[in-house]
Chain A
Amino acid sequence: MNATFTGLELRRVLRDYVSMFFIAVLPAFFYLIFGAAQEFGSEDAGNGNVAMYVMISMAAYGAVTATTGIGGMAAVERMQGWGRQLGLTPLRDEGYVLMKAVVAVVVASIPITLIYLLGVVTDAEGSVGAWVLSALVVLTGAAVFALYGLVFGLAFRSEAAVGAASGSLVILAFMGNIFFPLSGTLLTLAKFTPLYGYVSLARYPVTEGYLVNTSNGTVTHEALWGAAG
Chain B
Amino acid sequence: MDTTTTGPAAVELLGLVKTFRSPGGQLVRAVGGVDLTVSPGEVVAFLGPNGAGKTTALDMVLGLTTPSAGTVTIFGADPRQAVMTGRVSAVLQTGGLLRDITVRETVQMIASTFPEHSGVDEVIDRAGLTSLARRKVAKCSGGEQQRLRFALALLPDPDLLVLDEPTAGMDVAARREFWDTMHADAYAGRTVLFATHYLEEADAFAARIVMIAGGRIVADGPTEQIRSQATGRTVSADLPQAGAAHALARLRGMPHVAEVTTQGRRVTVTSGDSDAVARALLGELGASNLEIASGSLESAFMTITAAPDRGARTEREVTR
Contacts and interface: CB of A to CB of B under 8 A. Distances in A.
A81 B113 contact: no
A91 B83 CA distance: 10
Contacts of B95: 80-81, 84
Interface residues of A, number: 21
A212 to B, nearest CB: 41
A82 interface: yes
Interface in A1-19: 2-5, 8-9, 11-12, 16
B62 to A, nearest CB: 6
Contacts of B84: 90
Contact of B100 (A4, A12, A80, A87): A12
B109 interface: yes
Contacts, number: 65
Contacts of A12: 98, 100-101
A82 B96 contact: yes
Main SS class of interface, B: loop
B39 interface: no
A81 B112 contact: no
B152 to A, nearest CB: 7
Contacts of B51: none
Contact of B96 (A4, A84, A90): A84
B276 interface: no
A5 B109 contact: yes
Given A8-B108, A80-B95, A80-B96, A85 B152 contact: yes
Nearest to A79: B95
Contacts of B113: 2, 5, 86, 89-91
Nearest to A9: B109
B89 interface: yes
Interface of B: 62-64, 83-84, 86, 89-90, 92, 95-98, 100-101, 105, 108-115, 149, 152-153
24 contacts: A3-B112, A4-B108, A5-B113, A8-B105, A11-B105, A77-B98, A81-B97, A82-B98, A84-B64, A84-B95, A84-B96, A85-B97, A85-B110, A85-B149, A87-B64, A88-B62, A88-B83, A88-B92, A88-B152, A88-B153, A89-B114, A90-B84, A90-B113, A90-B114
